[in-house]
């Protein structure tokens, strides 16, 4: 049983931060409908969805993953690289703090949750415009007592590490080799995105299934050919805000008799 923390789309979504995509008109009502379908898809994959109310003051606040990290042993309040996003996290952290000891990334460190990919006890952290060396080192220090190894990974041409690579199987990753060095993930089976679908590497793994954005049919075929169960959702309006399926939720897994642990 999983819990997915989400937040409704802000009415100010069109004023979102952008770094690597051109600004395009966003239909906020359509974005809300797509987000509702995304939440329904999470429910269909076995998640209990906890949806926080929209925040008009914070255009990017639907992207809850960037403001907090959840591990089995603790939660971490990140310090987003975009200064305008640093006050978004209070409601998310209130929820996480009720089920995890809470630590924080402090200035001068910056860290976006979208730059953090956990695969077992290895935590890959993107070197990006949003996450700096001080943020990496603070996360390494917070996680070391719990047996996690933090690996810094250079990115290029994309917003976050998880724009370029995500976990899609127990020991399988989906990678855009134009945006990250594939050799970093040599210990895993690698599925490369179709070269014509540059934004296709972002996916959410829930148990043995994958929640994946519509619009990347060639890469989708590669995933299914690898035997991965895939459920697709339309997040095209959220993609205009440089969002993706990972950043719209924080997943926690509930183990029988042991409360909730990070998914």
Residues 173-194 pLDDT 10s: 999 999 999 999 999 999 999 9
- Give Cβ neighbours of residue 150 (< 8 Å, ≥ 6 apart): 123, 125, 136, 139, 140, 143, 144
Q: Where are the beta strands (DSSP E) in 8-155?
A: 47-52, 68-70, 75-77, 102-104, 116-119, 122-127, 149-154
Among the listed residues 39, 47, 158, 247, the single catalytic one is 247
Query: pLDDT tens digits, residue range 57-70?
Result: 999 999 999 999 99
Specify which residues 210 forms β-bridges with: 205, 230
Between strands 165-169 and 68-70, the pairing is: unpaired
Q: Which residue in this structure is represented by tokens 């640093």?
A: 86
Mean pLDDT, residues 232-257: 89
Q: Which two tokens stand for residue 179?
A: 């945006």
In this prediction, residue 260 carries a pLDDT of: 67
Mean pLDDT, residues 129-139: 96
pLDDT at 97 over 70: yes
By residue range, what is the domain housing residue 226?
Answer: 2-262
Domain count across the chain: 1
Concerning whether 35 is annotated as a catalytic residue, the answer is no
Q: Which two tokens stand for residue 75?
A: 């939660």
Which CATH number belongs to the domain containing residue 139 in this structure?
3.75.10.10
pLDDT at 259 over 60: no
Helix, coil or strand: residue 163: helix
Among the listed residues 39, 160, 199, 248, the single catalytic one is 160
Query: pLDDT tens digits, residue range 188-219?
Result: 999 999 999 999 999 999 989 999 999 999 99
Cβ–Cβ < 8 Å for 206, 1: no
Concerning whether 146 is annotated as a catalytic residue, the answer is no
Q: Where are the beta strands (DSSP E) in 9-139?
A: 47-52, 68-70, 75-77, 102-104, 116-119, 122-127
Cβ–Cβ < 8 Å for 247, 66: yes
Q: What is the pTM of this model?
A: 0.95
């Amino acid at each position: 049983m999983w819990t997915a923390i989400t937040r409704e789309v802000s009415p100010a979504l069109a004023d979102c931060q952008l770094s690597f995509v051109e600004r395009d008109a966003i239909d906020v009502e359509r974005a809300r409908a797509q987000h509702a379908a995304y939440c329904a898809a999470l429910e269909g994959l076995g998640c209990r969805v906890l949806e926080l109310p929209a925040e008009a003051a914070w255009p990017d606040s639907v992207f809850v993953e960037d403001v907090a990290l959840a591990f089995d042993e603790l939660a971490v309040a990140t310090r987003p690289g975009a200064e305008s996003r640093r006050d978004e996290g209070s409601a998310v952290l209130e929820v996480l703090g009720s089920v995890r000891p809470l630590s924080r990334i402090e200035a001068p460190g910056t860290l976006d949750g979208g730059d953090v990919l956990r695969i077992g006890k290895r935590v890959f952290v993107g070197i990006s415009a949003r996450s700096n060396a001080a943020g990496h080192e603070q996360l390494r220090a917070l996680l070391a007592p719990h047996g996690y190894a933090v690996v810094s990974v250079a990115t290029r041409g994309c917003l976050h590490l998880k724009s370029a690579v995500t976990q899609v199987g127990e020991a399988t990753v989906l990678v855009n080799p134009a945006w990250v060095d594939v050799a970093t993930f040599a210990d895993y089976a690698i599925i490369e995105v179709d070269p014509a679908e540059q934004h296709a590497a972002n996916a959410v793994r829930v148990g043995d299934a994958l929640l994946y954005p519509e619009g990347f049919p060639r890469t989708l075929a590669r995933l299914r050919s690898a035997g991965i169960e895939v459920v697709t959702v339309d997040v095209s309006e959220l993609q205009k805000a440089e969002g993706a399926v990972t950043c719209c939720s924080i997943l926690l897994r509930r183990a029988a008799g042991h409360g909730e642990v990070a998914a």
